[in-house]
Amino acid sequence: MVKQNQSTMALLPLFLILSISAEMEGAKKSYGVNSSDNNSVKLFVFGDSYVDTGNFRNSGAYKPPSGMTFPGYPAGRFGNGLVLTDYLASYLKIETPTAYALKNSSNLQNGINFAYGGTGILKTLVDGPNLNVQIDSFEQLIKQNTYSKSDVQSSIVLVNAGANDYTKFVLKDRNLFEIVKFRKSLIDELKVNIRRIHNLGAENIVVSLLQPIGCLPTISVVSLYQDCIDLLDLVSRDHNKMILQIVEDLNKEIGKSVFKTLDLYNSFLTAIQTIKKHYVENSALMNPLEPCCALESVGYDCGKVDEKGQKKYTLCEKPELSFFWDNAHPSQNGWNSVFKQLEPSLSQITGK
């Protein structure tokens, strides 16, 4: 995550969260069903830290306690274990696709993951490949015949981006009155990007709706982790309405249902509400709005140590009971809970 100072935090705890910046490197193990069938579906992934499995190599995701649940060591995922990409790959009965940064040393038969933590649709606070540059890399692999036309046509494409763009807008521009204009420019650029993926041959493109940012611990802390902040969830809802509209417009333009959406917004809310109900009934469980890996003080991220090697964070006793790993990212249990909500709709979305 991007390091913030006190004045920045005072600005809006909300978007501190969205600095989903520090990301990870390739997990050496994959999750899912082993597949040696070169004709199996391939998964191509674009976006940010919620789906990155190893591209942000110079990040805190390669430092403890990241990866402590899976694969047992820091391996490129921003969290303690499996992330959304892993669960989707498992659903498709393939191994997690190789991170683009590791493409020269890994099997590419399951696809490629271009997602890079902290990046977005436009340029963000992280100096990494944004969505357009990630698509450039995809296009280059196609030109090099790494993937055939049929590979791309039969693939599933996942695009998860946007949160970090709002982070940059608030922290840099600081003009909330311009957010409507900014959102339109963001969605317009997203539309250009996903249309471009289709023009490269993809026929099944899944675009994630933005998660309820008012539920992220860096925001819900203002309620002492008791409630999501609905005013900030409104940012997500307005963004998502525009995504739904461009998906509808593009499908009408093409004449078939190429573009679909993955409803992270309602899946997060339902999972959190379900866990919260059990937590109220059983205090031995963990409050879903509270992060497992908590910062000891302002300016430190999960995994940070001081110059003396002292940890500047604390860990919950049972990470397996947490929903959020840190101030912005779900834990493995969190992603598992979200995916259970998503799963009933996946056959319609993916065609699998």
Active-site amino acid positions:
49, 326, 329
Three-class DSSP labels, the chain: CCCCCHHHHHHCHHHHHHCCCCCCECCCCCCCCCCCCCCCCCEEEEECCCCCCCECCCCHHHCCCCCCCCCCCCCCCCCCCCCHHHHHHHHCCCCCCEEHHHHHHCCCCCEEECCCCCCCCCCCCCCCCCHHHHHHHHHHHHHCCCCCHHHHHCCEEEEECCHHHHHHHHHHHCCHHHHHHHHHHHHHHHHHHHHHHHHCCCCCEEEECCCCHHHCHHHHHHHCCCCCCHHHHHHHHHHHHHHHHHHHHHHHHHCCCCEEEECHHHHHHHHHHHHHHHHHHCCCCCCCCCECEEECCCCCCCCCECCCCCECEEECCCHHHCCECCCCCECHHHHHHHHHHHHHHHHHHHCC
